[in-house]
Amino acid sequence: MQTNLADWIKDTPEGREADAILRKCVHCGFCLATCPTYNLLGDELDSPRGRIYLMKQVLEGAPVSVKTQVHLDRCLTCRACETTCPSGVQYGRLVDIGRGLVEKKVPRGFAEGASRALLRFAFLSGPLFAFGVALGRAFRPLLPAALARQVPPRRVAGEWPAARHPRRMIVLDGCVQPTLAPDINAATARVLDRLGISLVRVPQAGCCGAIEHHLNAQEAALDRVRRQIDAWWPHLEAGAEAVVVTASGCGTMVQDYGHLLAHDPAYAQKAARVTALAKDVGEVVAAERAALAKLLAGKPAVAGPIAYHAPCSLQHGLKQKGIVEGVLREAGFTLTAVPDSHVCCGSAGTYSILQPELSHRLLANKVKALESGNPAELCTSNIGCLLHIESGAARPMSHWIELLDRRLA
Ligand code: SF4
Ligand code: SF4
């Protein structure tokens, strides 16, 4: 694609990056077939190619309207288009740049701005968020059915093994996961403990920055990333082997730290090291296959089949397709076939709240696909997908590491 970027952007790091990405796109349209919003809405401007065209116009200095913002807001950032694109167009990076520019040029109305600010505050408020969830659970029986389904049931973390192994890794706690599903990281700690690795929590660390990043508060997100690195750094210097991430949505954000802070002289090197050490829990367990096989020796196969939902952040963002499925099969689980497994479930960070209509349509399709093989249980790799699918599914839903923890117990 030929480009002619406007003077105000062309010599900036963002401008140069966006220009290189735009030039790779050859308008072939292969990406349209796997774009969830294009498949639902049938509008070229809700496809990757259409959005790339809109962002090109912004970068070339054309007037920007609410229409551009609406089409960019509707994008799930699922990055299925990246997986499909034969030219290697890094759509995810481009849409981050495009959204940031449009946000500055098209002010949001009061109600929309306030609801976005409220979302940031609610998700990042720690104890206040926990109090709100506890309140929702207490009054669940009194809530209308549609709202009650959005309140996740209480999950019990169980024991976190004491750090007893020379091999250590640190874990990303995250913002909402400790309140909504403390069992996920505790199950990870138990599984890794059996594999000879101690998993250590870092209380000073919290949200990875993805909430602010999703909501286009990009400076606030960068500040949070720096604080996260500061909290982890002493542990990495002391020999922690990896930063284990159990929510693949957060994993894509942490994998991006090196890129996001590449132009910050004080943090560029540290951020690059964190990126190199960030690992999805599936990758960590898969690397310990031999030890896992010993723990599983002699155990009979699991009775009921399960269906696994591969989050977009894992398969399209982190490009780790098939790793978790391989570990589960080796652990004795039978996985049912899931049609259209490349398509987003509609959770996508804060998307389910900001775009409820599209999100519900994607959820209904995903639940139908996951339950089509009549599995006994469902599982996934990301807290957002887990809670979203659980709200619409008839079967129990877990993080896959919890299934493995139960299997090894
Ligand atoms: S990221 Fe997903 S929703 Fe957005 S354009 Fe690409 S395929 Fe479509
Ligand atoms: S598949 Fe790639 S090159 Fe083709 S239109 Fe989509 S983004 Fe552009």
Q: What is the mean pLDDT of each run of 10 residues along the chain (409 residues)?
A: 94 95 97 97 98 97 94 97 97 95 90 85 82 86 76 89 97 91 97 98 91 85 96 97 97 96 96 98 97 94 94 96 97 97 94 93 98 98 96 95 96
Question: Measured from the CA of 312, which atom of ligand 1 is nearest?
Answer: 2
Q: How far is C-alpha 69 from the geometric centre of its chain's CA atoms?
A: 22
CB of residue 31 inside a 6 A radius of ligand 2:
yes
In this structure, what token pair is assigned to residue 46? 């809700």
Decide if 177 contacts 383 (C-beta within 8 A).
Answer: yes
CB of residue 29 inside a 6 A radius of ligand 2:
yes
CB of residue 91 inside a 6 A radius of ligand 1:
yes
Q: Which residue puts its alpha carbon closest to atom 5 of ligand 1?
A: 48
pLDDT score of 335:
98
CB of residue 359 inside a 6 A radius of ligand 1:
no
CB of residue 22 inside a 6 A radius of ligand 2:
no
SS (H, E, C) 256-302: CHHHHCCCCCCCHHHHHHHHHHEEEHHHHHHCCHHHHHHHHCCCCCC
User: If we measure between CA atoms, which residue out of 47, 55, 42 comes closest to residue 1?
Assistant: 55
In this structure, what token pair is assigned to residue 78? 């699922």
Q: Ligand 2 mean position to 81 CA, how many Å?
A: 8
For residue 90, give the ligand nearest its CA: 2
For residue 46, give the ligand nearest its CA: 1
Q: How far apart are CA 138 and CA 154, in angstroms?
A: 10
pLDDT score of 216:
79
pLDDT score of 67:
94
CB of residue 77 inside a 6 A radius of ligand 1:
yes
Answering whether pTM is above 0.85, one says yes
Q: Ligand 1 mean position to 95 CA, how many Å?
A: 9
Q: How far apart are CA 383 and CA 288, in angstroms?
A: 23
Q: Which residue puts its alpha carbon closest to atom 2 of ligand 2?
A: 85
Question: Measured from the CA of 84, which atom of ligand 1 is nearest?
Answer: 7
Q: How far apart are CA 43 and CA 47, in angstroms?
A: 7
Q: How far apart are CA 203 and CA 222, in angstroms?
A: 19
Decide if 312 contacts 79 (C-beta within 8 A).
Answer: yes
CB of residue 114 inside a 6 A radius of ligand 2:
no
Q: Ligand 1 mean position to 85 CA, how many Å?
A: 11
Q: How far apart are CA 93 and CA 91, in angstroms?
A: 6
In this structure, the chain runs to a length of: 409
CA angle (384, 390, 392) in 5-degree steps: 115
For residue 89, give the ligand nearest its CA: 2
Structural domains in the chain? 7-105 (1.10.1060.10), 110-148 (no CATH), 168-284 (no CATH), 290-408 (3.40.50)
Decide if 240 contacts 284 (C-beta within 8 A).
Answer: no
Residues 6 or more apart whose Cβ sits within 8 Å of residue 404? 187, 191, 285, 327, 328, 331
Q: At what angle do helices 323-330 and 289-296 cross, to 10 degrees?
A: 30
Decide if 398 contacts 377 (C-beta within 8 A).
Answer: yes
pLDDT score of 150:
75
pLDDT score of 115:
83
Q: How far is C-alpha 318 from the geometric centre of its chain's CA atoms?
A: 9
Q: How far apart are CA 353 and CA 387, in angstroms?
A: 13
CB of residue 45 inside a 6 A radius of ligand 1:
no
In this structure, what token pair is assigned to residue 151? 């309140």
Q: How far apart are CA 65 and CA 67, in angstroms?
A: 5
Question: Measured from the CA of 27, which atom of ligand 2 is nearest?
Answer: 5
Q: Which residue puts its alpha carbon closest to atom 4 of ligand 1?
A: 75
Q: How far apart are CA 217 and CA 11, in angstroms?
A: 23
CB contact burial 3-19 (16+ within 10 A = b; e otherwise): bebeeebbeeebbebbb
CB-count burial class (<10 Å; 0-12, 13-18, 19+) for 27: exposed
User: If we measure between CA atoms, which residue out of 409, 352, 379, 391 comes closest to residue 281?
Assistant: 379
For residue 22, give the ligand nearest its CA: 2
Question: Measured from the CA of 28, which atom of ligand 2 is nearest?
Answer: 4
Helix (H) / strand (E) element for 389: namely helix 383-390
Residue linked to tokens 């104890």: 127
Q: Which residue puts its alpha carbon closest to atom 2 of ligand 1?
A: 78
Q: Which residue puts its alpha carbon closest to atom 7 of ligand 1?
A: 35
Question: Strand 306-309's sheet: what is its strand order?
Answer: 306-309, 377-380, 397-399
pLDDT score of 201:
96
Decide if 240 contacts 169 (C-beta within 8 A).
Answer: yes
